[in-house]
Amino acid sequence: MKILSLITTLGHGRGGHFYDYVITNEQLVEDGHNVRAVEIGLNRSPIIHDADLKKSYIYFNGINMISMLFKLAVIIREFKPDVIQSYDLPSFSAANFISIIFKVPVAFTKCGGPNPEGKSFFPRLNNVITYSIENYNYFDCNKVCIPGRSKKIYTNYELCNSIEKSIQESYGGCLKILRISRIDEHYEDVFYKSIKYVNKLYENGIAVKLLIIGVIQSESLFKKLKEYDKNNVVFWLTDDIYTVNASQLIHVADLVLATGRGVMEAASISKPIMIFDTMQEDPIPLNKKNFHDYFNTNFSPRSFSSKPNEVDSTRFCMEISTDTVLSNKYKEEIESLYFEYFDISKATPVLVNFLENCKKTPVRLLGNNILHLLVTVRYLTRIRK
């Protein structure tokens, strides 16, 4: 199958959905499909740059909409795809408009996040791929939920050993808890919860460090978080050497505080995982009993479980670090969840079957498509200022 895969890069290009994009497309190629990756936007993602894919880049700043559409049309005319798959709204606006001319079906991939309820404008969808049950239940069109988008992560042992050595020399042996996330207001509450929880462990006599790996997108928040860390439990890793392909450093952790894609990456190497629950002050150990409550919302910080938490979070951390039998049993449980729900090799056949049956965009939606393009142009023009 010939698949034209579209994505937009406006910022640093290291968010979770860029990894979703690359891993899915690389697996499709491995499965024997012909994939052309097209990145549009203001910047180029280092994740896509390093991917083993046939790639094209089209600069798009909003103002040059006609030029961008023309260049995309040239690629489509040359490649002749069976379907176009888009991974975000800006690239979908371009794909959906141009698909009417070339009569090629388009599938929009909703890469997590809340449902678009209350938004002033959201385009009408013909075909949608979701990563969460929450999003799947919301849309009323040709749809499929495919949560699997991960493979066993590569570990950068050299860099992991360097981090381990730095911590050992400065703080001695300790429980290492990891949080990977860009440092901005979107995850502000999660950062405060993480730091508060690890400070609580420290005050309970546990030798512990919270490793935070992330790009600093808000200097003001970064400053506030450092001030909030009253016991100096956070070990910050914010340089590019750590933040580009940060998942390669998960190995250094004893325990991972994860959301979204981070759950899958940690599970791929059987790391103990704790997640955030809006109804709980402390993060919750993820297990088979509560898995589906959090799975339904893609392990978002918005998640909550209707079941009572049967495991004390502080005791869990102590047992993970001291009880080898319990730790190994838990790792086996996490590994089984990974292979059942997250392994990309099981997901791509389902994806291809869906793409083969996608519906073409009807001409009657042309007005909606033009409006979506104009909304995209306005958005890009604003963020460039």
97-119: pLDDT as tens digits: 999 889 999 999 999 889 998 77
Residue 307 confidence (pLDDT) above 90: no
> Which has more pLDDT, 152 or 363?
152
pLDDT digits 0-9 by tens, 160-194: 999 999 999 988 889 999 999 999 998 999 999 99
Over residues 277-281, mean pLDDT? 90
C-alpha dist (Å) from residue 295 to 117, 257, 341: 20, 15, 10
Q: How confident is the model at residue 305 (pLDDT cuts 50, 70, 90)?
A: confident
Report yes or no: 47 and 19 within 8 Å, Cβ to Cβ: yes
Answer yes or no: are the C-beta atoms of 79 and 36 closer than 8 Å: yes
What is the per-residue pLDDT for 308? 66
Judge whether residue 306 has pLDDT over 80.
no
| Range scoring the smallest mean pLDDT among 35-44, 135-144, 190-199, 278-287 | 278-287
The span from the CA of 148 to the CA of 295, in Å, is: 11
Distances from the Cα of 41 to the Cαs of 54, 69, 307, in angstroms? 18, 12, 43
Say how far apart CA 76 and CA 381 lie, in whole Å: 26
- From 228-232, 304-308, 340-344, the region with the lowest mean pLDDT: 304-308
More confident residue, 306 or 58: 58
Structure confidence at residue 238 (pLDDT) = 96
The pLDDT score that the predictor gives to residue 385 is: 61
What's the pLDDT score for residue 116?
Answer: 92
Of 255-259, 318-322, 362-366, the least confident: 362-366
Tell me what pLDDT residue 29 has.
98
* Closest by Cα among 376, 295, 365, 352 to 129: 352
Quote the pLDDT of residue 235.
97
The per-residue pLDDT for 117 is 85
Read off the pLDDT of residues 309-319 as tens digits, 9 standing for 90 and up: 777 888 888 88
pLDDT tens, 7-32? 999 988 988 899 999 999 999 999 99
Q: What percentage of the chain exceeds 90 in pLDDT? A: 79
Per-residue confidence band for 337, with pLDDT thresholds at 50, 70 and 90: very high
Look over the chain and give the mean of its residue pLDDT values, rounded to a whole number.
Answer: 93
Domains and CATH numbers, the chain: 2-149+344-384 (3.40.50.2000), 157-341 (3.40.50.2000)
Most distant CA atoms of the chain, gap in Å = 66
What's the whole-number mean pLDDT along residues 336-346?
95
Q: What is the pLDDT of residue 318?
A: 85
CB 218 within 8 A of CB 184: yes
Residues 370-380 pLDDT 10s: 899 999 999 89
